[in-house]
């Protein structure tokens, strides 16, 4: 049997790269019955069906799975947010960070379109997330800022680009590698949002060993299915203070002698990050009540 990697899935067909050629494959019935999804990034075994078509017989074990965008085996997520046009949504960014932490992926935050705003509007959010312990990269496809650094981050990884529609995911990938020729779309002036130009997640090869996935933009995201007691650990800047909490399983909300609240009052934790922590905590609690 042949072995390959799924580059994209589209209305019942799976496009699998096998030895530099893309084969059009269908899914063996047992997977369809089990409603098991085959995702871009999946490594699969394929039975030849003639003329570069085949049937996916086996999905090899996954290293990682990301829910949104749905991809398998990526090890990094580049989270692309525009400094303006559309305005950055830090709650969505924090949600994406929790999702990446829970899935065990390395997050890289791109604040794109730096050419559209003054330096303060770049440096202030960049500092918040650098202080929280993340890789932060200001980028612009107009001035070329950060493009070389971004390309370096991608080397020898499988990286998915994720973020709201119109933030510039496809544009950044084109800037890194013009040969991709990805379609990009104007941000609507009237509603200040992107137009969902990219329609499906697609795996692309930057160079041997360096793969990237372009994906459709989104504006909302469910939190991962983790115990709410572990939510604090998904915020890396909270971690050193958690052991100072008096109670085991402290939720860092109403409990006395809480290391997180103490760090917050001392200005060591950003208030907006903490606010989003509380929003997420409540969301998890109302979800737990429902089921």
Ligand X SMILES: Nc1nc2c(ncn2[C@@H]2O[C@H](COP(=O)(O)OP(=O)(O)OP(=O)(O)O)[C@@H](O)[C@H]2O)c(=O)[nH]1
Per the listing, tokens 């829910």 go with: 67
CB 98 within 8 A of CB 223: yes
Q: By CB under 5 A, tell whether 260 contacts Zn ion.
A: yes
Q: By CB under 6 A, tell whether 88 contacts ligand X.
A: no
Give dist(CA 109, CA 81) in Å, integer. Answer: 8
Give dist(CA 47, CA 225) in Å, integer. Answer: 35
Q: By CB under 5 A, tell whether 245 contacts Zn ion.
A: yes
CB 107 within 8 A of CB 101: yes
Q: Contacting Zn ion (CB under 5 A), which of 136, 258, 263, 269?
A: 258
Q: Annotate 177-188 with b (16+ C-beta within 10 A) or e (fewer).
A: beebebebeebe
**Which of ligand X, Mg ion, Zn ion, none sits in contact with 140, Cβ below 5 to 8 A by type?**
ligand X
> Is the Cβ of residue 260 or residue 269 nearer to Zn ion in the bound state?
260
The region of 1-9, 31-39, 110-118, 279-287 touching ligand X under the rule CB under 6 A is: 110-118
CA atoms within 13 A on the CB side of 150: 32
> Is the Cβ of residue 114 or residue 197 nearer to Mg ion in the bound state?
197
- Least CB distance to ligand X at residue 200 (A): 10
Q: By CB under 5 A, tell whether 72 contacts Zn ion.
A: no
> Is the Cβ of residue 33 or residue 254 nearer to Zn ion in the bound state?
254
Q: Does an H or E element contain 212, and which?
A: strand 210-214
In this structure, the number of other CB atoms found within 10 A of the CB of residue 156 comes to 10
> Is the Cβ of residue 13 or residue 247 nearer to Zn ion in the bound state?
247
- Least CB distance to ligand X at residue 81 (A): 10
CA torsion sign, 140 to 141 to 143 to 144?
positive
Region 172-231 residues binding Mg ion, contact defined as CB under 5 A: 197-198
- Least CB distance to ligand X at residue 284 (A): 27
Q: By CB under 6 A, tell whether 141 contacts ligand X.
A: yes
**Which of Zn ion, Mg ion, ligand X, none sits in contact with 206, Cβ below 5 to 8 A by type?**
none
> Is the Cβ of residue 73 or residue 197 nearer to ligand X in the bound state?
197
Q: What's the token pair of residue 1?
A: 């049997």
> Is the Cβ of residue 93 or residue 245 nearer to ligand X in the bound state?
93
Give dist(CA 102, CA 209) in Å, integer. Answer: 25
Peptide bond into 91 cis (omega under 30): no
> Is the Cβ of residue 54 or residue 194 nearer to ligand X in the bound state?
194
Beta-carbon contacts of residue 30 (< 8 Å; ≥ 6 apart): none
Q: By CB under 6 A, tell whether 221 contacts ligand X.
A: no
Q: Contacting ligand X (CB under 6 A), which of 117, 142, 221, 279?
A: 142
Applying CB under 5 A, which residues contact Zn ion?
Answer: 245, 250, 252, 258, 260
């Amino acid at each position: 049997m042949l072995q390959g990697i799924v580059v994209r899935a589209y209305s019942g067909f799976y496009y699998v790269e096998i030895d530099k050629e893309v084969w059009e494959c269908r899914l063996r019935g047992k997977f369809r019955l089990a409603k098991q999804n085959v995702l871009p990034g999946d490594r699969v075994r394929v039975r030849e069906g003639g003329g570069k078509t085949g049937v996916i017989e086996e999905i090899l074990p996954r290293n990682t799975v990301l829910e949104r965008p749905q991809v398998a085996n990526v090890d990094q997520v580049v989270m692309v947010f525009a400094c303006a046009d559309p305005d950055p949504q830090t709650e969505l960014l924090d949600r994406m960070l929790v999702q990446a932490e829970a899935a065990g992926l390395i997050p890289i935050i791109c604040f794109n379109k730096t050419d559209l705003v003054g330096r303060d509007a770049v440096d202030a959010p960049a500092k918040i997330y650098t202080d929280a312990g993340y890789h932060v990269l200001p980028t612009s496809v107009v001035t070329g800022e950060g493009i070389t650094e971004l390309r370096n981050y991608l080397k020898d990884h499988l990286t998915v680009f994720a973020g709201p529609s119109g933030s510039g995911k496809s544009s950044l990938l084109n800037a890194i590698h013009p040969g991709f020729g990805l379609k990009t779309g104007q941000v609507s002036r009237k509603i200040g949002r992107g137009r969902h130009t990219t329609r499906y997640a697609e795996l692309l090869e930057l160079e041997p060993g360096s793969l990237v996935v372009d994906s459709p933009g989104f504006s909302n995201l469910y939190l991962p299915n983790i115990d709410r007691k572990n939510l604090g650990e998904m915020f890396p800047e909270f971690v050193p203070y958690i052991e100072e909490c008096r109670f085991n399983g402290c939720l860092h909300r109403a409990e006395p002698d809480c290391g997180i609240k103490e760090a917050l009052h001392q200005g060591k934790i950003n208030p907006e990050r903490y606010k989003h922590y509380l929003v997420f905590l409540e969301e998890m609690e109302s979800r737990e009540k429902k089921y």
